[in-house]
Amino acid sequence: MATLKQIADQTNVSITTVSRVLNEDPTLSVSDAVRKKIIKTARDLKYRIPRKRVKFKPRKEVTIALVYWYDIQKEIDDLYYTQVRKGIEEFAATANIKITIVYKKKGGYERKDFKSPDGLICVGKFSPEEVKYFASITPKIVFVDYSPKVTRYDSVVIDFKRSLRKVIEFLIWKGYEKIGYIGGVEYVNKEIFLGERRERYFKKYLQAKGKLDASYLHLGGFTFDSGYITMKKILKGKKRAEVYVCANDTIAFGAMKAIREHGLKIPDDIGIMGFNDIPKAKTSSPPLSSMHVNMEFMGEQALNSVLELIEGRNIAIQKVIPTKVINRGTLRK
């Protein structure tokens, strides 16, 4: 198996630089030419970073059903879950693991779509009835971005509490006094409303800092169009915040478009902070500041967990993935 030293020797850079490039360190300053050379060399040598090497390699082929809480079209629109899926599929490719995809249809889930899996990775939010249904298919279940019962089911989740506290402390350190929020609402189905954790923690920590103004809080959907429409309404009003934290990057991109159309500058007139740090955040104009969530790593950890369950572990584990503030061009210096 290739090593970092071999890659460093062939590219004439340090082992540290190779490691930081392959682990996508956003703080690393290196030319695109060097970055591409390192990545190409790593691919040629078939190098895999340690976290993408499976802990358990099944003796026979294992089938894992990846269950989504929505249909195929919404997966295309939501890059957050697409990145989680990428982590699962890339990780599965290193071992004898077959991944099948199960989408939610109009009437719910159909048994024939599961094809007798050895384990399930359920991505999104699910009703108690759906969780019970999944358990009837197999007890080897891991939930991603949702934790229905920590004592019974494995889960991989984000530390939203600490994430929102980090965001608020960072923005206050930046000198922002009027801090707003643009978010969405989440429904498992028409009858079950989950609320929105990011908004809840945002309000809690902003209030603790004595800076909460409810007129700066706006809820819509988790889409580009919702961010665009919401910001258009904000700009038509007489009162607005200095900076807006968006519940995801897609909302932020919609808000940025509305700001530009209004003839205002980002971040001089209005600052924008996203959440998730999807790949497009680095290349937007200006590059989007965002809360980095290692979505691929969440997928990898989910797959590791379900393999452990298949191997015989019978104690539920919850993995809480930390986040990191990435400061780019949409916040003032």
Asked whether the CA dihedral 12, 16, 20, 25 is positive or negative, the reply is negative
pLDDT at 193: 41
pLDDT at position 311 over 70: yes
Are 328 and 281 a contacting pair, CB within 8 Å?
Answer: yes
* Same-domain status, 287 and 174: yes
Both structure tokens of 186: 């989440």
The answer to whether the beta carbons of residues 274 and 252 sit under 8 Å apart is: yes
Question: Which pTM value belongs to this model?
Answer: 0.77
Which pLDDT tens digit goes with each residue over 117-150? 999 999 988 888 999 999 999 999 999 988 998 9
What local confidence, expressed as pLDDT, does residue 192 receive? 41
Count of structural domains, the chain: 3
DSSP state of 324: E
Residue with tokens 């986040």: 323
Q: Are residues 173 and 281 in the same domain?
A: yes
DSSP string across 95-164: TTEEEEEE--BTTB--GGGT-S-SEEEEES---HHHHHHHHHH-S-EEEES--S-TTTSEEEEE-HHHHH
Examine the domain organization and report whether 240 and 276 are in the same domain: yes
CA 143 to each of CA 14, 48, 210, 327: distance values in angstroms, whole numbers, following the listed order? 39, 26, 36, 30
User: Within this chain, do residues 188 and 205 fall inside the same structural domain, yes or no?
Assistant: yes
- Residue 66, class by beta-carbon neighbours within 10 Å (0-12 exposed, 13-18 middle, 19+ buried)? buried
Mean pLDDT of the chain: 86
Q: Tens of pLDDT along 177-236?
A: 999 999 987 665 554 444 567 888 899 999 999 999 999 999 988 889 999 999 999 999
Mark whether 306 and 281 lie in a shared domain: no
For the chain, the residue count is 333
Q: Is residue 75 part of a domain?
A: yes
| pLDDT, tens digit, 9 for 90 and up, residues 239-251 | 999 999 999 999 9
Quick one: CA dihedral 134, 138, 144, 147, positive or negative? positive
Q: Say what the pLDDT of residue 285 is.
A: 92
Report whether 117 contacts 65 (CB < 8 A). yes
* Signed CA dihedral, 48, 52, 56, 61: sign only: negative
Helix H or strand E encompassing 271: strand 271-276
Pick the closest to residue 119 from 315, 317, 308 (CA basis). Answer: 308
d(CA 78, CA 249): 10
- % of the chain surpassing 70 pLDDT: 88
- For residues 300 and 154, membership in a common domain is answered with yes
Q: Give the domain range for residue 212.
A: 160-293
Q: What is the pLDDT of residues 75-119, one digit of tens each?
A: 555 677 788 888 888 878 777 788 898 988 887 888 888 888 999
**Residues 147 and 164 grouped into a single domain:** no
318-321 sheet: strands from edge to edge = 97-102, 62-68, 119-123, 141-144, 154-158, 318-321
The kind and range of the H/E element at 19 are: helix 15-22
Going by C-alpha positions, the residue among 109, 96, 103, 161 that lies closest to residue 136 is 109
One domain, residues 9 and 113: no
One domain for residues 169 and 287: yes
Banded pLDDT at 56 (limits 50, 70, 90): low
CATH of the domain at 180: 3.40.50.2300
b/e 215-247 (16+ beta carbons within 10 angstroms → b) = ebbbebbbbbebbbbbbbebbeeeebbbbbbbb
DSSP designation for 35? H
On whether the CB atoms of residues 256 and 233 are closer than 8 A, the answer is no
Identify whether residues 194 and 277 lie together within a single domain: yes
